[in-house]
Structure 1
């Protein structure tokens, strides 16, 4: 996967830096899942081979390490909502789902809608034509289960 992260002139916003971190994390996770390379080697390679000056490095590392170390638990969290075996998922879809699940479960400071939307955007850029719809549906169901209180509070206007 190539670096398709857009670059703008001037100081990047925090939102852009986080979006770039997710984009790089997705690419690194894809490499991890397809090539089976060690996480610390992938992280070092990404830091050397990419301009990460407009990237939230801390978030990139958290996502890369958190998703790889917790992939089995993350997979189990959304597995009930899949319409096919986990092994049949495209590696990009799988990596996007893992990032979204990680953020929904472990990054509670990120609103559930942001976690889902960021994953959908990754799927639009890197995934197959309709994969963003699939990712959205799975993560929405997971959010209902792991962020139900937040969702209910938002709907009631609190």
Structure 2
């Protein structure tokens, strides 16, 4: 599975976990039958570090609260910040670009601009 697809499926799985009382395995199973280590890492890592990720995002948001963000943007931001802060395998610029492309698929024109504005406040290489 390509990484873009894994990120899109992670978004869908995390979105489900945000809305339903199900296990990580069930959420991933609802979006794909394929086993993918990167997908699992994104979902479990984002959930494991959710409090730290959210605290980091709160520091970067201007005139917004995390609770007020649309769910798609909030979930895309969480995945991207997880990758930026807790993984080193993907360059930061690639992580941000992937987040923007996913916003274009699942959100709207404003989504990608907003996410870009927030993620640009992180120091990336």
- TM beyond 0.5: yes
C-alpha contact 2:12 2:31 (8 A) present in aligned 1: no
Q: Deviations for 1:71-126, whole angstroms, at most 9, x for unmatched residues?
A: 11111112111121111011110110001101101121211100100001111110
Greater relative CO (CA pairs within 8 A, separation 6+): 2
Computed over aligned residues only, the root mean square deviation of the Cα atoms, in angstroms, reads 1.7
* 1:39 positional shift: 1.6
1:126 and 2:97 matched: no
Question: What's the counterpart of residue 12 of structure 2?
Answer: 27
Question: What's the counterpart of residue 88 of structure 1?
Answer: 68
Question: What's the counterpart of residue 41 of structure 1?
Answer: 26
Aligned residues: 124
* 1:69 positional shift: 1.7
CA distance in 2, matches of 1:128, 1:23: 15
C-alpha contact 1:34 1:91 (8 A) present in aligned 2: no
Where structure 2 has 5 or more consecutive residues not aligned to the other structure, the ranges are none
Question: What's the counterpart of residue 68 of structure 1?
Answer: 47
Q: TM-score, normalised by structure 1?
A: 0.72
Q: TM-score, normalised by structure 2?
A: 0.90
Q: Which protein shows a greater Rg?
A: 1
Question: What's the counterpart of residue 59 of structure 1?
Answer: 38
CA distance in 2, matches of 1:98, 1:124: 16
Question: What's the counterpart of residue 11 of structure 1?
Answer: none
CA distance in 1, matches of 2:32, 2:108: 27
1:136 and 2:116 matched: yes
